[in-house]
Structure 1
Amino acid sequence: MSASLDPSRLEDAEAAEAADPGGMLRQVASSAAQVREARRAAAEAGLAELAEDGRPRGIVVAGTGSSAVPGDVLAAVCGPGSAVPISTVRGYRLPGWVGAADLVVAVSPSGAAEDTLEVAAEAARRGCRLLVVGDAASPLAELAARSRGVVVPVRPAGPARSSLWALTIPLLLAARTLRLADVPDTVLESTAELLEDVAHRCRPSSEPFVNPAKRLALDLAGDVPLVWGSSAPSAAAAYRMCCQLGENAKYPAVFGEVPETGRNQVAVFDGFFARAGSQAGPADPDDFFRDRVDEPEHGLHLVLMRDVEEHPRVRRRCEASAALARDRGVAVTEIRAEGAHPLERIASLIALADYVTVYLAIALGVDPASEPAVQELEARIA
């Protein structure tokens, strides 16, 4: 059955929760608790063992699907000034350069993902230091134990995409232990508090015209989102939003980074989905009460994830791209990061985006927790 937009599903908490049988809203609201619980789990896991042989030559994060995003967050928080390269592997093989001097981090909530398990086994054969973030009673944890690796246990609770912070915080604390990231406990707590604040603003009982996540979800419905980041943290958040639009709302989106948009994505402003042909002209995206009757049924929607730390050229490109889009009738929404530390900023963007994708699913009559096509694919290749 095809999805159909019904804004009334977002009008109150009872309606929203009734359309969310898998409880994805509750799982998104658990982000702050995940930060605090993961901090305690990492403290008890003995991360100091990772530093016994000194700083690694490089860090490779292995994961599949949503379990790979923590690697993107780690690289963004450490930034371009990181003393060692940080890369993410989404597949079955380690890069050829990885060896005994490197740290491999295997991320899997269930600890049974075949590709992640295969990468971890290869890392063990090459003599790499191994860190596992996942179920303590899993094949991946057993492999780590046999290889003298470190395991940070994660309590399985819902799909991997709803456990981002439970999977990410151990990586940040491992980097802190190796003196590669400046993430003090005060920043972890301020990040948790920021996540709580976003959860309050985006709570199901908040009406759509004052709830930023519900409002953006309704504005995106029917459009093709182009989600761009203006920095490493905001680009990681933009990629996460595109993934969440796919998995939660079953909705396509296009990811981009402002410095790299160049001609290819800007060119589509003049394409089939641009609203330039609308006699109504560009709509004001800030006017929630505008009359949508005369607006085209489909169009592009540029979502700019802005950071407080942007290169001057990137800032000018953001402003020029937004103006160019509006001139052509393309809707533009800017989401600005909050906080000072890179972790705070990326968390604020991801938190809002997660709510947007769940609310869009609910408004479209889609169960955000279900993945029938993914399950069918897995059954066909099993």
Structure 2
Amino acid sequence: MSVQSFDESLLDDAEALQHADAALRGLAEAGARVRTEANASNDVAERLTQLGRPRALVAAGADARLLRAVLEPWCPVPFVAWPGPGLPGWVGALDLVVVLAPGGSDAETQSAVQEAVRRGSTLIVACPTQSPLAEMAEGRDTILVPSQTGDALAVAVVVLQLLHVLELGPEVNGESVAMALDDVASRCSPYADLASNPAKDLSLVLAEALPLVWGGSVLAARAGRRVAETLRRASGRAALAADADHLVPVIEGSPPRDLFADPWADPAATPLRPALFVLDDGSEQPVIRANRGRLLATAEKAQVHTRTISWTEGPEVARYAALQSMGTYVAIYLAVGLGKYLPAAT
């Protein structure tokens, strides 16, 4: 793949940034959305005190994987993340089904809700109150979490708080998540120039690279996959998030750096080399340290550029949210530098 021309001056250009205003504004308001969802669910927590411990917990829908990343190490009952249609055949009246659909629903989510109601399972569904999914979910054993913002992360934080009330998950502090998102928004604001903005600085690294993203913990790895998805959408380039065993051969197989390359050559004729981005959430288990060391040593040997994106403050879900948010800022600034948000020439 060849390099598309990247103009770093656009990162501090008010007119260029204006074309990315909607995306940047959405990131800046992420903390406020978490608070909005938390306030809207205050009454729901009181209803949960009437529920006993289920036989098993099933998280269904497209965002089930985030719940799995948080709950699997902690949940005291069998837990299954089920992103596909319907529900596992064994799910019944003794089980709890959780569905996240903050923006409405798709056919798979609807089928999971219908199956939960039909089988008499206890159902917690997070969706807009005035939506077809809310109507499908109506029943004696259904608890509706009223989604206000359409923000998947904000709704997931609220549902995780509710599951803690049921003693099915760890304590999740919504305000700490909101504060972390506010902090990222301040550090990565479009009004912060290139010299002081970490997201703009990281976008320069990606101007001539294909990102390889690695996170050591379960949540950091999940953030890495979301960041890679965002980079692909924003830039139209490849981006890979994977574990160390999959990234090492990619790094080892990268083309050698040409020390005699013409710095003034046409960027379109220059092949992209990988760059390794390590997402560090402060997790220091021995296996994580070993994998990180192996990746960094391999990258150094292959002369692959490496950068570490760190967020080690606050609870683990707040760190996850901050890493994902910062990666999204990087993707937007990369798109701005590539001219992706600029109007077509007339």
The question of a shared fold, defined as TM-score above 0.5 by the shorter chain, is answered with yes
Partners of 1:320 and 1:275 lie apart in 2 by 19
Tell me if the contact between 2:281 and 2:316 (Cα under 8 Å) persists in the aligned partners. no
1:54 to 52, 55, 68: 52
Aligned to 1:75: 68
Query: Secondary structure at 1:136's aligned position in 2?
Result: coil
Aligned to 1:30: 29
Aligned to 2:238: 252
Partners of 1:211 and 1:102 lie apart in 2 by 47
Partners of 2:193 and 2:240 lie apart in 1 by 28
Give the CA deviation at 1:117.
0.9
Change (3 A) 1:170 1:11: same
Partners of 1:266 and 1:232 lie apart in 2 by 19
Aligned to 1:5: 6
Q: Output the amino acid matched with 1:302.
A: L
Tell me if the contact between 1:60 and 1:103 (Cα under 8 Å) persists in the aligned partners. yes
Give the CA deviation at 1:241.
0.9
1:353 to 305, 311, 327: 327
1:241 to 191, 212, 227: 227
Give 1:247-286 correspondences, 5 Å limit. 247-257=233-243, 261-262=244-245, 264-271=246-253, 274-279=254-259
Query: Secondary structure at 1:171's aligned position in 2?
Result: helix
Partners of 1:115 and 1:4 lie apart in 2 by 41
1:141 to 99, 120, 134: 134
Partners of 1:13 and 1:63 lie apart in 2 by 39
1:196 to 182, 195, 198: 182
- Flag structure 2 segments of 5+ consecutive residues without an equivalent: none
Give the CA deviation at 1:20.
1.7
Q: Output the amino acid matched with 2:38.
A: R
Give the CA deviation at 1:245.
1.9
Partners of 1:43 and 1:127 lie apart in 2 by 25
Tell me if the contact between 1:278 and 1:329 (Cα under 8 Å) persists in the aligned partners. no
Partners of 1:320 and 1:20 lie apart in 2 by 37
Q: Output the amino acid matched with 2:156.
A: T
Query: Secondary structure at 1:303's aligned position in 2?
Result: strand
Give the CA deviation at 1:226.
1.4
Q: Output the amino acid matched with 1:279.
A: L
* 1:229-276 alpha-carbon deviations (Å, 9 max, x no partner): 10112111111112222334443321213xxx32x43112232xx242
Partners of 1:217 and 1:180 lie apart in 2 by 39
2:337 to 341, 346, 363: 363
Give 1:1-382 correspondences, 5 Å limit. 4-17=5-18, 19-20=19-20, 23-44=22-43, 46-64=44-62, 68=63, 71-78=64-71, 80-146=73-139, 148-156=141-149, 163-183=151-171, 187-257=173-243, 261-262=244-245, 264-271=246-253, 274-279=254-259, 297-367=271-341
Tell me if the contact between 2:161 and 2:174 (Cα under 8 Å) persists in the aligned partners. no
* Structural RMSD (CA): 2.7
Q: Output the amino acid matched with 1:216.
A: L
Aligned to 1:374: none
Query: Secondary structure at 2:320's aligned position in 1?
Result: helix
Partners of 2:54 and 2:234 lie apart in 1 by 36
Aligned to 1:380: none
Give the CA deviation at 1:156.
4.5
* 1:108-135 alpha-carbon deviations (Å, 9 max, x no partner): 2332322211111112112211112121
Tell me if the contact between 2:101 and 2:109 (Cα under 8 Å) persists in the aligned partners. yes
Give the CA deviation at 1:213.
0.9
Partners of 1:136 and 1:78 lie apart in 2 by 26
Partners of 1:143 and 1:180 lie apart in 2 by 25
Partners of 2:96 and 2:176 lie apart in 1 by 28
Aligned to 1:284: none
Which is worse superposed, 75-84 or 101-110? Answer: 75-84
Partners of 1:309 and 1:270 lie apart in 2 by 26
Partners of 1:147 and 1:330 lie apart in 2 by 58
Partners of 1:349 and 1:360 lie apart in 2 by 17
Q: Output the amino acid matched with 1:37.
A: T
Q: Output the amino acid matched with 2:105.
A: A
Query: Secondary structure at 1:35's aligned position in 2?
Result: helix
Tell me if the contact between 1:10 and 1:16 (Cα under 8 Å) persists in the aligned partners. yes
Partners of 1:251 and 1:150 lie apart in 2 by 42
Change (3 A) 1:347 1:80: same
Change (3 A) 1:182 1:314: closer
Give the CA deviation at 1:223.
2.1
Partners of 1:293 and 1:100 lie apart in 2 by 68
Q: Output the amino acid matched with 1:166.
A: A
Change (3 A) 1:195 1:58: same
Identity across matched positions, percent: 34
Q: Output the amino acid matched with 2:126.
A: V
* 1:28-68 alpha-carbon deviations (Å, 9 max, x no partner): 11111011111111113x2443453312233222223xxx1
Partners of 2:102 and 2:177 lie apart in 1 by 22
Change (3 A) 1:235 1:363: same
Give the CA deviation at 1:367.
4.4
Which is worse superposed, 206-215 or 291-300? Answer: 291-300
Query: Secondary structure at 2:129's aligned position in 1?
Result: coil
Q: Output the amino acid matched with 2:317.
A: L
* 1:93-114 alpha-carbon deviations (Å, 9 max, x no partner): 3222322222222222332322
Partners of 2:27 and 2:77 lie apart in 1 by 32
Normalising by structure 1, we get a TM-score of: 0.80
